[in-house]
Amino acid sequence: MNKRLITLSAIVGLAALSRLLPHPPNVTPIAAIALFAGAHFCNRKAAFLLPIAAMFLSDLVIGFAVYGGALLKSQPVVYFCMLMAGVIGRLIRNNGSALKIASATLGNAVMFYLVTNFAVWAWGALYPRTWSGLIACYTAAIPFFRNSLIGDITFVAVLFGGFAVLQRFFVSLREPLPA
């Protein structure tokens, strides 16, 4: 068995389960999971599919347990942003310095904020489809952006930092060097 793959999958699974615990709005591990998986999984399919599967399963639990099965119209956009987070993770894959990880985290959070709130404005009924409505939508979302940034920074530190510590102690978790 590939100990690295099993460990990475377990880390992603545990992080996804933490989404089900009580937490402030938008302080979740999902974006961090996608960045982490993109940066650490050798297999591209696993790097993209595992975070999406983790999010989908936790969405099912949250959707049925909390909201009675309701899904937002903008949910496909959230999944698209998760895929983009995986792409950003792949970009830092071979050079995961603290500065690059921090930059990827901030860039991903800004991308998520801009794209998902645009979708809320475009497809929702809360804001008029005018320039003023778009600005109002982005303005109203600032507290959620702050919370998602707090969650992203926290979970990125735990995932990337925790796995780096594990790699120091367990050689079998280190990525093999290319032949």
Contacts of 43 (CB under 8 A, 6+ apart): 5
Greatest distance between any 2 Cα atoms in the chain: 57
Contact 36, 159 (CB under 8 A): yes
Contact 108, 121 (CB under 8 A): no
The one-letter amino acid at 178: P
- Report residue 21 as tokens: 């615990």
Query: How far apart, in whole angstroms, are the C-alpha atoms of residue 37 and residue 130?
Result: 38
* Per-residue model confidence (pLDDT) at position 59: 78
Using only C-alpha atoms, the chain has a radius of gyration, in whole angstroms, of: 17
pTM of the model: 0.87
Instruction: Mention the CATH class of domain 3-173.
Output: mainly alpha
Query: How far apart, in whole angstroms, are the C-alpha atoms of residue 35 and residue 140?
Result: 26
Cα-Cα-Cα-Cα dihedral of 50, 161, 103, 141, to 10°?
70
pLDDT in tens, the chain (179 residues): 688 888 888 888 888 888 888 888 888 888 999 999 999 988 889 899 988 998 888 878 776 655 555 556 667 898 999 999 999 999 998 777 899 999 999 999 999 999 999 999 998 888 999 999 999 999 999 999 999 999 999 999 999 999 989 988 887 787 765 54
What are the residue boundaries of the structural domains of the chain, listed by start? Answer: 3-173
